[in-house]
Structure 1
Amino acid sequence: MKRTSSSEDLQFNRRAALKGLAAAAGLVTIPGALAACSSSTSSPSGGGTSASGGTSGGTISFGSNYSDPAPKQAFAALVSNAKKATGVNISVNTVDHNTFQDDITSYLQGTPNDLATWFAGYRMQYFAAQGLLEPVDDVWDKIGANFSDAVKALCKGADGKYYFVPIYNYPWVVFYNKSTFTQKGYTVPATWDDLITLAKKMKSDGLVPFAFADKDQWPALGMFDILNLRVNGFDYHIKLMHNQASYTDSQVTDVFNQWGELLPYMQSGAAGRIWEDAAKTLEAKQAGMMFQGTNQVAAQYVTDGKKLDDLAFFPFPTINPSFGQDYIDAPMDGFILPAKAKNKDAAKQVLQYIGTGAAEASYLKYDQWDVAVATGAQVPTYNSIQTASVQAMANLKGVAQFGDRDTAPPMATALETAILKFIANPAASGIKPMQSSLASQAKSIF
C-alpha cells in the first residue's frame, strides 16, 4: 500500500528518530546505576481525578495482546492505576498475542475497543494512513515533555500527527546462562569468527549452540534483521524494509549466506517449535545461547519460576567492522486509539495518564524485562536484565523496530514465509530464486 507521504520523507524522519531512540533509555533514572482466549477485568465505576487534575470518569474497553501471565499481570497493574488516576471505568479484553496481531486489520475495521495495545513506528503508521486510528495530538500537548524527540517521532504517523502513546521498549540480544559459560570456560564472542568458534565448541560439548524456534514465523525475522544490520548497516536495512532497496540486491544474498554459515548451529526442527519451548531449552541448559528479545526470554524465565540471576546477554557480535555493534532491534510497545472507538474522550484521559513516568513505573513494577521510555521515570525495581538493557541501548547509533513492524504487513508475511523455506532448505542454489520471489511480491505490495 502506498504511504500518504513520499517514501523519501518517511525514510528521513524514521532515520532521524531511530538514531536517537537509544538515548531515551539512557535517561531513565535507576537508583544505584545507571494476548483467541479472552478474559475481562473491570474496576468499579465512580468519579475520580484525571491526570490533568480535573474531575473525570466514563467507561471504556481496552483490547490487549498481553496474554502471557507475566505481562498480563503488569498490564493489570497499569489499568488499575489508570482507573484510580482518571476515574474511568476500564474493562479489558485480552486476546492471544499472535491472534491479536493476525486479526488487527479486521479488528480496526470492525468494532474495536476504545483503546488497544500495539506497536510504534511503521506498523502504526500503516494503519494511521488508512484512517483506522484516531489522532491524539491533544494528549501529546499534555504529555510531550515526558519524552525525547526520538520517542516522539516513533509515535507519529506519516502525516505528522500523533497516533500512539508508548509504555516501554526492549532489546533483541544473545542470551546465555552465566553458570554455563563459567563451567565450560566460554567467553563472550565479540566477532563473527568468535561466535562460530564458540558455537562449534558448544556443539562438541553436547549443547545446542543456539536455541531456536519459528512455528509462529516472526521470531526468525529477528535473525534476518540483526544479520542485515550487522552486514549492511542500519540505513540499508530500513531502505529494504521500505522497498527503497531490492530483495534481489547482492547485500541480501550476503545476509542469507551469512545465515547459512550459522544455521548448522541453530536448533533443528524450528518450524514445529514455539519460542517459549526454545527458551525452556536454554533454561534447562541444554542450549548455550538464544537470540531473541528480553520481552520474551527474560519474561519466560519469570513465568517458569526461574531465577534471572543466572541469565545474561551480549549484543550480537560484529560482522562488518564498518558497522560494529552499533545497531539492534529494540521494539517500542504502547497504545492506540481506534478511529471507531465509542468513548474517545475517556480513552484520551487514560492515554494522558499512561504517558507519564508514574504510569510506566507502575507497569514496570511487575515487568522484569522491559525498560521505561519516559525521561526521568523513577523505576527502583530494575534488575540486572533491565539495567543491562538500558546500558546496551545507551550508545547505539540506530534502533530498528523489528521486521514485522518496519515494513508493510503483507511484506512482513512474505518475508516470514521465505525465511521459513530457507531454514528448511538453506542450499545456496535456492537463495537467488527466493530473492526474486520476494522482489516480485514487494513490487505488488508497495
Structure 2
Amino acid sequence: MQRVCLALPTMRACPGTIVDLAEEAAYAVATFGVEVHLLVLDTTDAAEFAKNADAVAALTATPGVFVHHLGNAEQREFFLRVAERSGAADPELLLELMLPQGVAYGSCVNRLFLAAAALGCTSTHLRNDDFDYQVADGAKLYPIHHELLSIGRPAGEAVAAVTRSELDPADADKPVMVVSGSFIGELNVDIGEIRELDPAVYHDLVKLWTPPVWPDEDRDAMVELSFKGVGAEPFDTDESVLGVPDIWNVYMCNVALDHRGYEVLPLLPSTDTLGCDYALLHALVHSKLPGVVHNRHIVNYYTPERRVGAGFVNYQLRYVKLLLSMLYLYPVYGGMIDHGPALLDERHGLRIEPVLDLVRGTFDWDRAGNEHCLDVVDRSYRKLGGKYVELADVVAERRQQLLDEAQQDAERWAVLIEAWAPMVAAARAQGLGNGVAGSAA
C-alpha cells in the first residue's frame, strides 16, 4: 500500500488547521486507498502546544490515517538520535541546523522530510498553518486529490490523470517529482501595506530580490509577478497540466514532493529568512523533471501578530534576509539552469555533486551587491515613515550581522547537503513509530 505523509510544521496554535488536514487525510484514504501519516511538527510553547494537542486528541479515528504530533522535546530527541546514528563528526551541529533557535522555514521542512523517511513514506504533501481550502458546491477542494493522481508515477502513465499534457515524449519514463497548486488571497509575503503606502517604494523593495544581471524590463516584469500567486482567481473546474513546471507556478505550501527529490537535497537551514525553502523546487524544475500544476489553490491569509510591534519588525527582517540571501542563491539557481538535465543521473535522479559545487562557489562572493541592497532598504523604509523608520534603525544596527549571516547560511547549507544522505539513511533505520488517529504519537 502506498504510504504518504501529509505534513504540517507549525509555530502557533492552529487547532482548526489540524482538523482540516485530518479531513484531507481521510479523503485521501477513502478516494485513493493509501495510508496517510498526518505529521504535525510543533514548535509552540506549552500553552499553545496544549491547544494543538487537544485538537489531535479530539480527532475521529479513521482507519488508514495515523497522526503524529511532536513537540520541541520529542523533535530534539529524535533528530539528535538521527544525527548521532548518521556517523557525523559533530551531531550537535547537525541538530542545530535541523532545529535552530528562531523561525527557520527550510529547517522545519527538512525535519518533515526526515520524519517522512523514518515513517517509510514515498511522498510528502506540504501545507502551512495559515491557509484555508477553497470550497466549491459545498465541498472543500483538497490539493491531495491531484497530488495522489500523479506523484511518483512515470510521467507517461500520469498523462491519463491530467486534463492537459505538455510532456516531451522523451521524458515519459521520468517520474513525476512535484505536484503543486498556487494560492489566492493575500500576498504570500506580507508587504502589501508598503504597496498601499507608496507603490514606488514597493517596486524598489521587490526589485531588490530580482536577479541583478537581468535587463531592467525583465526585472520590472518579475516585480509585477512576485508574491501574488494567481490573484483572486476562483475555482471553476479541475484543471491540471503535466510537463516541466514554470518555477512561478509551484508553491511550497501547496505541494507534493517525491522522496527521490527531498531525500537527496535538503533546504537551506537559514533562520529568520523568507524563501529559503524553495531550493529543492528550483533543482527539480531546472533539471527538467516532470511535474503537474493544478488549480486547487489554497487561500492565503495573514496572522495578526506580524503586523504590529516586535512581530512586525521580526517579520520584516525576514524579508530583508530574503533579499540578502539571493546574492548566494541566484548563482546556484543560474548554475542549475545551465546544467539542466545534466543535474540528473542515468536513472533520472538528482546528482548532488554539481549542486554542492555551485553552493561552495558562492562562499566568497563579493558583498557589494548586498551592501547596495541594504542602502536601498534603508532609504526606502525611511521614506515610508512611521513604524518603518524604527525598522530601518534595526536593520542599520544589525547591518554587519545581516551581511555575515547571509554568507554563513550558504556555508551551513553546504554542511547539511554533505550530511544529508547519511541522515536520511539514519532516519529510515531509526523509525518514528506508529501514530494513532485521534491521539499524539
Q: Pick the TM interval, shorter chain.
A: under 0.3
What is the TM-score when the length of structure 1 is the normalising length?
Answer: 0.26
Q: Greater RCO between the two (CA within 8 Å, min separation 6)?
A: 1
TM-score for both structures, normalised by structure 2: 0.26
